[in-house]
Amino acid sequence: MESGIRKTAVIRQEENRHENGDDFLAVEEPLEIQLEYGDEHNRRTHSLSITMRTPGNDMELTAGFLLTEGIVKHYSDILNIKHTQTLPGVESNYVLAQLSPNLQFDMSKLERHFYTTSSCGVCGKSSIESLKSTLPFAQSEEKPATISPDIIYSLPQKLRDAQTAFESTGGIHASGLFDLQGNLLALREDVGRHNALDKLIGWALMNNKLPLHDCIVLLSGRASFELVQKCAMAGVKTICAVGAPSSLAVESSHDFGITLIGFLRNRRYNVYHPSASSG
């Protein structure tokens, strides 16, 4: 059984009947991300973040998180990512990311950044403008690519067909990466929608696929500001979401030059970018 799925006993009740059986759950466990940084003569270790995630693809999750939080811009900024405190037969909930000595890194600035983004600081135009200055890839002046409605309509079913954990548990988010012809390039699942996207972006970073200008990201749920920001950091130009976007997600997609599509289901969708050209 996959590390991200766990079996449990249940009693199924329907009308006046019940029966004993088994159910499968998406695993949710903490992952602590630690950083090792500094020059060759002065290396330090710092606990950066704890996230509740579904075990699996932890290295990709860490790499994607480091990119989308603006800590690294290239995979070469990372010397190594590894589990720590491992026991035989047990997957560790601790990951150490060792940063290159050549990376200019100020932990005090990073701590201030984390304080604002985890509280009420991420809101409004000023936050969007500040994020623009940290984008690792230049924003393209070209309009987003024209994609036929039939290609867009096809994406949710392709994502669902490839979701092995969702098929078993019914309770997990997914982020899928497609080319402009609608071919699925990669998919990652997690109980946290932001973790699923970080895993996907981490896969792209580790496989030298960035920037993702000529790709579509499909989100299995709603589109929030945080997810749009992460896509912008990866150079994504087209985001589709099965659910609704938030107001700040729409505003930020305009400012980042991203086509944002929401409510993509049952052969219909809404386009929230005024200059988007789909269809």
Catalytic residues: 120
Task: State both tokens at 186.
Answer: 């990669």
Residue 158: count other Cβ atoms within 10 Å of its Cβ: 16
Concatenate the DSSP letters of all residues of 36-102 into one string: EES-TT--EEEEEEEEEE-SS-HHHHHHHHHHHTTS-SSGGGEEEEEEES-BTTB--SEEEEEE-TT
**CA–CA distance, 228 with 218 (Å, rounded to integer):** 11
**CA–CA distance, 183 with 190 (Å, rounded to integer):** 21
**CA–CA distance, 45 with 6 (Å, rounded to integer):** 33
> Pairing relation of β-strands 44-53 and 29-37?
antiparallel
- Burial category of 275 from C-beta neighbours within 10 Å (exposed 0-12, middle 13-18, buried 19 and up): exposed
**CA–CA distance, 231 with 237 (Å, rounded to integer):** 8
Contact 145, 238 (CB under 8 A): yes
Beta-ladder partners of 33: 49, 95
